[in-house]
Structure 1
């Protein structure tokens, strides 16, 4: 039952993000691009280097957060806050490079909206303690 709730929660978030992206694409007349399942949307080599650096640092921070949660008894919220920070950082870098160096700078609007929705979902998870409801 726990996994059904968790998967349902994730599917709702994905649906809302997709819906908002579709609406924004129509409003701003942004063409949809074909993407792989895990796309690497690097605008240039500098963007690639910065994104990889952010992901490596995030991995170490996440491992440290798991250590704090499992061995030191910290709340799961510490992990969720780190996810929020790295989501904002990663999507902000993506939006900046899309705005400055991309063929279609309007894509930055989609990136910012996606970031906002994901951060709101995580904040709601923390605020209403949804993570503990999903686990227990």
Structure 2
């Protein structure tokens, strides 16, 4: 039952992000490039290298946070804060490269809105202690 609530909350956030992206695409007339759900939207090689570095650093940070969570009894919020920080960093780099180097700089609107919605969902999870209430 716990995982069902977690999956439901996750799907709700994904649905909201998708609906907002769809609405923003219509409002600002941003073309859909037809890439898949988990596609990598790198603007150039430098963007690829920076994003891979951020992802590798995030993976190490997540492992450290998970270790602290499991073995030292730290709060889940430590992990969630690290997810917030790396989400902001990753999406900010994406936004800068879309703005400066992309053929369609209006995509920055989608990137910033997606980042904002994810960060808001994570902050609400921390603020209302949703993760711990899902577990208990």
Q: TM-score, normalised by structure 1?
A: 0.98
Distance 2:3 2:72 in 1: 26
After superposition, what is the alpha-carbon deviation per residue over 1:89-131, rounded to whole angstroms, capped at 9, x for unaligned?
0000001001111110000110000000000000000000000
- Higher mean Cα deviation, 81-90 or 11-20? 11-20
Distance 2:128 2:38 in 1: 30
Count of matched residue positions in the alignment of Structure 1 and Structure 2: 136
After superposition, what is the alpha-carbon deviation per residue over 1:34-83, rounded to whole angstroms, capped at 9, x for unaligned?
11232111100000000000000000000000111111111000000000
Distance 1:81 1:116 in 2: 14
> Residue in 2 aligned with 1:103?
103
RMSD value over aligned CA atoms? Answer: 0.7
> Residue in 1 aligned with 2:114?
114
- 1:8 matched to 2:12? The reply is no
- 1:41-80 equivalences under 5 Å are 41-80=41-80
Give how far 1:133 is off: 1.3
> Residue in 1 aligned with 2:40?
40
> Residue in 2 aligned with 1:128?
128
Distance 1:48 1:59 in 2: 16
Q: Where in structure 2 are there 5+ consecutive unaligned residues?
A: none
